[in-house]
Structures are given as structure tokens and as C-alpha cells.
Amino acid sequence: MSNPIKPDHIDSMIHERVRLAIVSALAVAPEMSFKELKTTLSLTDGNLSAHSRTLEDAGYIKIDKSFQGRKPLTTMRLTSKGRAAFQRYLDTLRGIIEHGAEAGGQTKKGKKR
């Protein structure tokens, strides 16, 4: 068994459930509008705004404000820092799962040894 994984290895910036949902959605789309994220994740304006600001302050997402015609348009996308952090987050979770499988006497394919 490799080195143990500590709970502190989990990125708390991403691990919060709303921020995890935002980062997960942005991980598979080049960018999404505020309205698209709000609808996709069933969030309120305030909730999405607060969590996206936190992610932007951490450098994980980029928020762009522009106009489409005369209407304001806010779009969000993962930064390279955010994409790398999300990949580390997923790798950490995979590591925890693999440790659990090893401890439970299972191989990576889920079969008992």
C-alpha cells in the first residue's frame, strides 16, 4: 500500500458542494454563461455569484462580463490553475478509493484477492 492520504490533501476550495458542481460543469465545457450554470445547477443568483467569486479569487475560474446586444452577459471558464486543481482533486479521490479497495482486500478491478 502506498502512502496514506490525509483529509487535508482534499482541496477544500473545490470540495464544497456548490463549488464542486461549478468546477465539474466547467471542466467539460469551454465556458458557460451565468444563466446556463444557474439553470444547470439549480442555484440562486446570490449562491452562484458568491461561490463563483470565491473560485475567481482563488484563481480557479475566470469571469468575463460583456454585453450581448444591450443585455449584460457573464461567462465563466476554468483557468489552467483551476483545471490542474480539479485534476489533483480527482486524483486524490481516486487514491482514497484505491486505498479503500486495497484495505478491503480487493484489486483495482473490484475482485477479491
Q: Look up the domain containing 21 and give its range.
A: 9-103
Express each pLDDT in 38-78 by its tens digit: 999 999 999 999 999 999 999 999 999 999 999 999 999 99
Of 95, 107, 86, 78, which is closest to residue 20 (Cα–Cα)?
86
In a domain, 1, yes or no: no
Give me the DSSP letters along 35-89.
HHHHHHHT--HHHHHHHHHHHHHTTSEEEEEEEETTEEEEEEEE-HHHHHHHHHH
In a domain, 37, yes or no: yes
Query: Is the pLDDT at 105 greater than 90, yes or no?
Result: no
Express each pLDDT in 2-50 by its tens digit: 677 778 889 999 999 999 999 999 999 999 999 999 999 999 999 999 9
* Domain CATH for 81: 1.10.10.10
Q: How far is 105 from 40, CA to CA, in rounded Å?
A: 39
Selected residue with higher pLDDT from 105 and 51: 51
CA 48, distance to chain mean position in Å, is 14
Tell me the pTM. 0.85
